[in-house]
Structure 1
Amino acid sequence: MSPQTGLPVPADAALQAAWGRIPSPSAAETEFERFTRKRMERILAIVAAIGSAILGVQALLAAIGGLKDGASGVQVTLLLVVYISLAAMLVSCVLGRGVRVCAGAFAIIYLIALAAWPIVTAAGSDSQGQPWIFFLVNVGVVAAMLAFPLKVQMLWALGLPLVYGYVRLVEGGFRGSYWTTTAFDVSFTIILGFVIVSLGWMFRAVAVGVDSARGSAVASYTSVAAGVAAEEERVAMAALMHDSVLAALIAAERADSDRARDLAVAMAREALTRLANTEAVVAQEGSDDPIGTALIVAELRRALSERGADAIVEERGTAGLIPGRAARAIVLAARQAIGNAIEHAAGRGLHVVVDGRGDDGLAVTILDTGAGFDLDAIGEDRLGIRASMIARMAAVAGSVSIDSTGAGTYIVLEWESA
């Protein structure tokens, strides 16, 4: 269904509309363009959830073993805070929602908990075993990989092991027996952390490259397809123009009565109208399906925007539907009038009014406050008004009214249904 008219859309028009919705690399980023990147983020979140859950269970078992030997309320609170944030991150990774927020929250909470570890434990203890919080160091790095930019991820991969090493040495009172094991743990954790960050960066870069390559391929294909279609249309139009001009010349040569001369004039106008349409945009040629007034207003506003004109398109009356051929003629004729106002009147006082008359017709008024012109003084070889406006509107049973004085120019394009 057409969004403007509510009528069925032909198959070719529907296909063209579908191709028009395919994004290109120069367009704003869309869900289509980020398809592979989103899939990769989903995969990373699932894998991170699985690995973090395994390490989390290992750390929880170690924590439970430590609690059996007695633990203060502060230690239990620390354990609950860390694991509640970890559980929230795991759930968000599985559901695929709020991953960055939950992962970032856990990364920050874990860093604070790790830094506070010497305060909530007995500093200077003789325990040579690794505390439960150590098993979550790389989980903190994984959380940073899911939540933060690359530079912050690298900072986390380096900073968390160093914080753990310092905390561990403080816990052991900086005794010599702690230095060797702590140095080994810290170096191993740093290497593993950077491997995690590197893998995440590599997979994301590959996904972005795939999205970019696909977008470029689609844009290239659509450009080539559009070029081929335009070339075919130009060939067909050239053949049609040859037949139209030749027929008009033959009719003019053989005209021996008023009726024959009128027919020759009409044929010449039709040929000029087609020529003017060809000089416009080939893509604007299409079916004669009814078109809404809103679409005409949108086209005129785009014409003003393309010209850089500081003017508005005012809507009046009741919106309706008019045949596509008449709508295109009105738009192209109005574009010509707008171009003339900008070129010859510098766009002074330029104003466009679209007066809808329901299904009975449409009137478009283009006015400016330039110096005006004398229509009779325009050379016969100048087709801007005669062909692009008058002949074009006449070809669809429309009319053009031009009133130009020293105070400005007033042009009315009218089309009424039969």
Structure 2
Amino acid sequence: MTEDAQAALDRVVARCAAAMRGATAVLGGVAAIATAGAGLGWVVLAVGVSVVWSAGFAWTVVRRGVRGWVVLVDIALTVVLCLAQPWLVAPELRSGGASWVDGLTSMTIVIAHFAWRPRLAVPAGLVVAAVHVVGAWQVGGALGTLGIHVIQIAATAALMTVLRRSAAVADDALADLRATERAAAVMLARRADEREHKRRLHDTVLATLTTIGTDGVTASSLALRARAAADLAVVEGSIDLGEPDTDVDLRHQLRAVADRAEVAVTADLVPCKVPVLVATAFSAAAAQALANTARHTSADTARLTLTTDCASILVTITDTGPGFDPTTIPHHRYGVREGILGRMRAVDGTATITSTPSGTTITLRWPDTTPCPAGSGT
């Protein structure tokens, strides 16, 4: 599933916060130790605490996001460091806002906006900036950094507001797209069900009525009763096809199709296992092709073969009837268009029809792949 824009923003912000806090602590700590004078011990202790906290901060925010309690701890630590500037900042760095504590203060102000909306982040940033001023004032440092921190607070608040609003707009658009996709999927599924229902009616009830209408069977025939019962079972869905991901031997299903055909069928079938839905499509399409041979041609024999090549499974149905032009089939006729072509297309397969005055060959292929090059073997 596509990640929401707000979730993506939170993830990126968390990684940025971890990198910023860690880099500032390490680089600032190195600079602090390098410039420390008589108070080296206090500086080393403060830098150590800052680095350890930064590691815990980074681990937490990367795994769980920038949480409010993490920012509170970060603010508390920064406040302590700001008030301890007389012992942690070298005299030559107390003016101009170039000390390592100045850098940590800026990062804390920015990170607060990553976790909170402006109504909380702005007051928190102002508190940190004010405490920094108090610490700098104790050692006679410049107070010009207050203006820098105020600008940082305003700029970060504006930036995060724009990013969050943009993410919300993107999420709304994504939600609309998903709703449209769900509606389209439901519509496609409904149409697929309708087509399959029409195929079943065509292959069962309509086929039986056609047989009766052409005097193929009498109304009192026991065969008619058996066929009508079978048709009813199919229409009502009482025939269990099995689990969709179950593999079955296609050879057995095609053998049953050949045995039920109204013409004499010569079958040449190799062992071959396919998913049950694919086997059902193959057998139904083959049955329809053989039914068309019996109803619409003078041929009384047909040939049914099952083979495989390097890429696909092939089923061919061949007869010696007079042939027909597949392009002239009326749109309302379901036998070829849905009973054969539609069924194979529904399982990502194909059906091709080659018809001449001396006979017709229907080739069913699954999956729909490019045929093997000549001489590649079977």
Query: How high is the TM-score relative to the length of structure 2?
Result: 0.48
Larger radius of gyration: 2
Query: How high is the TM-score relative to the length of structure 1?
Result: 0.44
* Larger RCO (CA within 8 A; separation ≥ 6): 1
